[in-house]
Structure formats: structure tokens, C-alpha cells
Structure 1
């Protein structure tokens, strides 16, 4: 496994995810956890993401000029999504008008014991970002 360019591939996937591909945010976060302790299944998963990107390269984020500045957001969480430490994952996405402008997928810092707790943390994170976006747009 030492000759496999896993860290380089994951770094490239992170760049694509941050800049233009919110659809791979979750899986890139998972792949990034195994940079120092990878197995063959991680390399196979990374190659699968690359094949997915190759197959969807014609899909892209497009933006059009508009005066409508309505922000719509969605958030979600899973309970104990990380099998290593039983921490939940948070994800949110914001759109203006119907176009993705901001997204995030991250492991929560606390361990939730109920689904409602994990969802509440996700909602809080999304609301904090929504408040920042509102202030950014209005200035």
C-alpha cells in the first residue's frame, strides 16, 4: 500500500469537493480519516469516487444573475455514523435561488445518545451558518 498515491488522490478529491462538488462531501470526509491507516478497501472506494466524477463530469454548478436573494437551507444528521467513536455526522446545504452556494459535511464533536440530539446539533450548526449568510448578504 506504500506505492499507492492515496493521500494525493484524497487531497485532489478534497479540492474538488470544496470548490465545486458538494455531492462528494460526505465520502471525501470518510476517505480523509484513513490517510495514515488505509487498507485496500479505502483505495477501492477512492477509485470508485474518481469513476463517479468521471461519469458525472458534464454535471456542474451553474449560476445566473438574479435579484432574488432568498436563501433556502437543508440540514441532516445521522446517529452514531462513525463506527470508530460513535459520533454523529452533520450535513447542511444552502441554495440561492435554487443554486447551491454553501455546503458542509462534518463529524460532530460530541457523542449524541439520541437521534434528536444529533439533529438538534445539526440544526444549530446550519442556523449559525444561515445567520452568517444573512449578515453577509445584507451588508
Structure 2
């Protein structure tokens, strides 16, 4: 889906808001079993307050994709290994309306995809490294929650691999020493951590 061109489009032609809400609601329900439409659906869901014709076209495009790929879905084989692995990613200023970034992440239990999300970040990141770091920290909390849930079932994970495609975000998370280039990240996200040492 060409989400890069979606914006609020205040000059566009409005469409029926109730119909748009119903279509988005159906797609949101489907994202529970179809992670491949999660990002596109959540981008379209941002415009439910004032949907325009171009937003409706993108929603219809998702439905056409679903019609062509109705036989796709998640497959959970019973003989896979039981290792928890996480992936995190983010874009920088992907939303044209407020320049906020979008975080995304996946969790695999062995070969089985068990958790996924796509969400617009609460703050405006000043750099790609900051957007990736925010995504990594949010997804780390999700991984810790998943590890706690699995502990209730008797599965203990001491090391959980998390993959991120930003070397700078990985370096910042592994070495939280305050540098001049990462001072704004420290102030925004790590103040509570350093409160006792400052």
C-alpha cells in the first residue's frame, strides 16, 4: 500500500464517515490473524475523524488485497523449537500530518509469530536513531511482559535476542552514557533512570 501519500487532505472530498468506520472496524478485527495488513490498516485508521475519498480508496485497496490472498494466514506447527525472538523497527517522521514516527515489532516463539504491533509514536523524534531507540525500548517492555507470561507456564528465558536495524539505537541502549548528540534522548526517555545519580 502506498501509505507515503496519505495525509489529512483537508481540501479533499469527504466520504461517508459511518461506512468508513465500519470498514476500518472490520479490518482491525482481521489484524488479529493477518499481521500483513496491520500497518496499512492502522495508517488508514488515523483518518476516521474526517475520512476523505482518497482514504476510502486505500481502504478498498486493502480489501482487494484480502480478496486475492484469502488463503494466506498464520501457521503454527507443533514441532518447532521454543525460543523467544523479537524484531523492532521504526520509520522517521513517516506521518505527514504531525511528523511523528511509526514503531513496529514482531515476536516469534520458535518459528511461530505470536505478537505484532504497528503504532504511531507519542513524541516527535528528532532523528532516525531516536525513532529506532523509542521503538526498541517500547518493544523491550513487550518482550519482558511476554517472558513473564511464559514464566507462569514454566518456561524460563535468560537471554532474549532482540533485532534492530539501527546500529546507533543498539549502541545507545547498550551504553547509556550521556553524549552531546544523545542528550535530548537522555532527557526525554531516561530521566527517571538517572534521577538518583544526578
Q: TM-score scaled to structure 1, two decimals?
A: 0.93
Give CA-to-partner distance per residue, 1:49-93, whole Å, 9 cap, x none.
Answer: 001111111111011224732011111001111111111100001
Please report the RMSD computed on the Cα atoms of aligned residues, expressed in angstroms. 1.4
Provide the C-alpha distance between the structure 2 equivalents of 1:84 and 1:34, rounded to a whole number of angstroms. Answer: 10
Question: Greater CA radius of gyration, 1 or 2?
Answer: 2
Partner of 2:78: 65
SS at 2:138's partner residue? helix
Give the one of 72, 89, 108 matched to 1:76: 89
**Large movers: runs of 4+ above 4 Å:** none
Provide the C-alpha distance between the structure 2 equivalents of 1:115 and 1:89, rounded to a whole number of angstroms. Answer: 11
Of 102-111 and 31-40, more deviation after overlay is shown by 31-40
SS at 1:83's partner residue? coil
Provide the C-alpha distance between the structure 1 equivalents of 2:75 and 2:16, rounded to a whole number of angstroms. Answer: 39
Pairs aligned (count):
138
- 1:17-28 to structure 2, matched below 5 A, reads 17=31, 19-28=32-41
Provide the C-alpha distance between the structure 1 equivalents of 2:16 and 2:80, rounded to a whole number of angstroms. Answer: 52
Q: Which runs of 5+ in 2 are unaligned?
A: 1-14, 153-198
Q: TM-score scaled to structure 2, two decimals?
A: 0.67
Partner of 1:12: 26
Partner of 1:85: 98
